[in-house]
Structures are given as C-alpha cells and as structure tokens.
Amino acid sequence: MPSQAKEPLAMFRKGRLAAPLVLLVLIFWWAQPAPEPSASGVPADAEKARVLRVIDGDTLELDDGRRVRLIGIDAPEKEGPYTRAEPYGDTAAEYARKALEDQTVWLERDVSDTDRYGRLLRYVYLADGTQVNRWFVAEGLARAAEYPPDTRDAGLLQRAEQEARQENRGLWQ
C-alpha cells in the first residue's frame, strides 16, 4: 500500500500528471462567468462601500475606517489642524459632504492601490453611474490633476475642468 501512495507523486514528478492538472485548472478558469456589465454605468468590477464622512473635497472616510483619495482631482484645502484654508475649500468640502456622507458608492481602482499616506486611490461612482471625480471637477469644486501612473481618466477630467472654466463654475467664478 505505501508504494501506491507514492505512485501519483512520482508520476507528477515525471511530468505525467502536470499536463492534465494544468488542463483542469484552465477549464475551471475558462468556465468562470465574465462580470456582468452594469446597467447603471457603475463599472462591473467596482467595490461597493459606504461613506462615513467627507474629510475634504477630495478625501473620504468609509464606514470600515479606510480612507479614499479621489484619483485625478485636487480640491482646495479647508481649514484644518495641518492645512490652511484655500479659497473655496470650505465650499467644496461642504458640497462633497452633502452629496456623499452616509451614501453607498462604488470604488474603482486605476493602477495604484494606495498613496503614500495609505489612502485608497479610487474613482468613485454613485448608484446612477455618475463618476464623482468628474462631477466635482465639472462643478468647479476641484481642479483636474494628473498623478502618474493613475491617469486613465486624465483627458476626461481635463475636459470637465475646461467646461467649468468656460461656464465660470465654482473655483472659476
């Protein structure tokens, strides 16, 4: 009996079981259903989360304690223990607070997972598919800002800023 128990291991080492094992893994992988596209416009692979509070115009705290920095935007700073108030900073933070606190959102990653402060770097979506990053720039609550390598939507955000400037919204009044 002991010689039979060693037989499959010996066969594997000789390569006789490697090909069938790889084939089984590939079949299992191919059989997995593809993510369904979202009818609302929220990316299918986005992570659902709940916003506990808005820290400022481009940073959120989730109900699980994680912090999220919105990719591709730079909102003016509000007065804080480590920051001086910038023009329109309090307005941007209050707008974000009213729009996002206690709301369910969806988080989508670009390239990087976190920034140097440990905050998640994400595009944030509402249930209707609205991308919050773009929305805040289009309303003049933040500037478009490229922080490589997370630049997937940089063109979209730049166009939103141009539109806000032309329409004299928010920061551009």
**Which positions are catalytic?**
69, 77, 119
- The answer to whether 146 and 67 are in contact (CB under 8 A) is no
Phi-psi region of 140 (alpha: psi -120 to 50; beta: other; left: phi over 0): left
Nearest to 74 by CA among 66, 65, 86, 62: 86
Q: Which residue type does 139 have? A: E
143, 144, 145, 147 alpha-carbon torsion, rounded to 10°: 140
Residues 4 and 55: their CA atoms lie apart, in Å, by 64
